[in-house]
Structure 1
Amino acid sequence: MTDTAAELLRTATRALAPDPAANRFVPLVERGAAPREALARLALEQRWVIPADRRAFQHLAERADPAAAAYFTTLATGEELAAAHLTAFTRACGVTQERARAYVPLPGCQAYPAYVSWLALNASPTDTVLALTANFSAWGGYCARIAEGLRTRYGFTDDACAFFDFFAAPAPDLDGQARAAVQAGLDQGALSTADAHTYGTLLQTYESMFWESLGRPA
């Protein structure tokens, strides 16, 4: 495999990196200034996001060529693992089963998974690999900062922080699968960097909406 795919992924990640000042919620958690109610909303919103993304990734795997299918299958499996970790975080936030069942999600928080579902139905899987990989770089960084803030400012246990630790951890196998999928798309002439950039730009915008919505007073 050449370095073409790896360089394309690096370029996309740099180009689509969000404005560091755009996310005002994560710094609040780092300082311990985010209300616990906002942390509970984060947990409740993720209860909707995780299963939606898992199904979207499964559908993309079914549509994709073998290289991209491996990437999306790994993502879907990861969402299953994340769902198990989310239970501990939700419990640490004091969310009861009754509240979880009655919770009505915020539109601004659910725009991101709704768009991932759109990509699953309409976009080229290979283009989607490129867009998602660029977006995941920012998401992983946010998760690392949240995990640190939860431990140092809120006294959350390792078990309660495991959801964020999971997404913050390096994923060399997934990175390798992303490179293989992008390279296969390049080799087959099935990759549109313009479309991938559009998808990635929208993903970053919807993710910014997620964090902004969380930070608004309930």
Structure 2
Amino acid sequence: MGLVVLLAMTQPATADIATNQQDAKALIERLEKLYLKGPTPVFVLQLEKNTLPDAKLQAFAMEQRLINLSDLRSNALSLHRFGGLPGHSTRAFFTRITTAEIQANTLLPNLIQALGISPEQIAQYQPLAGAQAYPAYTTWLANYATPAEIAAALLINFQSFGKNAERVAKALKQNKRFTNEQLSFLMTFSQLPEGFREQAIDIIARGLASGVRENDIAIRVRLIQTYEREFWRAFEAKINTN
């Protein structure tokens, strides 16, 4: 009986969720203003000027391959942890990010092939610590964070990475004549999937109603965005992919 009471206490009331919807929206808007207007990575600027070494482009694709393989498992773990929680948005959100990683992994080989990366290069590639800090953190999130923290972090980061990924795709199309098929991986990040934002905000509202602090959510967003910047900075060093 005591366990039943405890479980009931940990589930947010419907009224609390409705009350926290506006708080969740306001929090996301503040975080978007804070993190979506940063400086453009040097990698992107050089690519747009057509001065980026091919080795760095190849490294970018091979880092993405490793990140996607890691994030697929992290997202699947989040789905395993939270897929049974009350509320359709939670299950739908974590199912969506897991299936999206599966799709991304089917599209990335098009870019890898377009960049002339051989299987031997992939096998011998030495990952950049700065670039792999990001998936290390998303693995931490999948293991230890609340649904609200994860949803906020991924909502902000999807938009941040997507903005740069779209510019990378446009530069490759203009400067290297890549086709839409070859750029399909990058373009999957060009805009938020329909309903993604609403699902994330609903999850955040439920988290706030159950006692998750706005500061905890803001910390997760700050850290994932810091690791995102480190990802792009990792390519500023001299790189040899041969």
TM (normalized to structure 1)?
A: 0.92
Aligned counterparts, 1:18-167, within 5 A: 19-21=38-40, 23-64=41-82, 65=85, 66=87, 67-167=89-189
Residue 208 of structure 1 pairs with residue 229 of structure 2: yes
- Per-residue CA distance 1:115-147 (angstroms, 9 max, x = gap): 100111111121121122112221110111111
Matching residue of 1:15: 34
Q: Tell me by how many angstroms 1:149 deviates.
A: 0.3
Structure 2: gaps of 5 or more residues: 1-17
- Per-residue CA distance 1:182-215 (angstroms, 9 max, x = gap): 12223333x3211111111111111111111123
Whether the aligned pair in 2 keeps the contact of 1:13 and 1:133 (CA below 8 Å) is no
Give the stretch that moved more between structures: 144-153 or 124-133.
Answer: 124-133
TM (normalized to structure 2)?
A: 0.84
Give the stretch that moved more between structures: 174-183 or 204-213.
Answer: 174-183
Alignment RMSD, CA only?
1.6
Give the stretch that moved more between structures: 169-178 or 157-166.
Answer: 169-178
User: What SS class does the counterpart of residue 181 from structure 2 fall into?
Assistant: helix
User: What SS class does the counterpart of residue 160 from structure 1 fall into?
Assistant: coil
Whether the aligned pair in 2 keeps the contact of 1:127 and 1:193 (CA below 8 Å) is no
Larger radius of gyration: 2
Q: Tell me by how many angstroms 1:18 deviates.
A: 5.5
Q: Tell me by how many angstroms 1:90 deviates.
A: 0.3
Residues in 1 aligned to 2:94 and 2:158: alpha-carbon distance in whole angstroms: 13
Matching residue of 2:207: 185
Q: Tell me by how many angstroms 1:100 deviates.
A: 0.9
Whether the aligned pair in 2 keeps the contact of 1:92 and 1:160 (CA below 8 Å) is yes
Whether the aligned pair in 1 keeps the contact of 2:68 and 2:105 (CA below 8 Å) is yes
Q: Tell me by how many angstroms 1:4 deviates.
A: 3.5
Structure 1: gaps of 5 or more residues: none
Residues in 1 aligned to 2:79 and 2:183: alpha-carbon distance in whole angstroms: 29
Residues in 2 aligned to 1:202 and 1:180: alpha-carbon distance in whole angstroms: 22
User: What SS class does the counterpart of residue 159 from structure 1 fall into?
Assistant: coil
AA at the equivalent of 2:226: T
AA at the equivalent of 1:195: D
- Per-residue CA distance 1:8-47 (angstroms, 9 max, x = gap): 22222222336215x2111111221111111110111111
Give the stretch that moved more between structures: 62-71 or 33-42.
Answer: 62-71
Percentage of identical aligned residues: 30
Whether the aligned pair in 1 keeps the contact of 2:147 and 2:204 (CA below 8 Å) is no
AA at the equivalent of 2:35: L
Residues in 1 aligned to 2:189 and 2:229: alpha-carbon distance in whole angstroms: 17
Whether the aligned pair in 1 keeps the contact of 2:159 and 2:191 (CA below 8 Å) is no
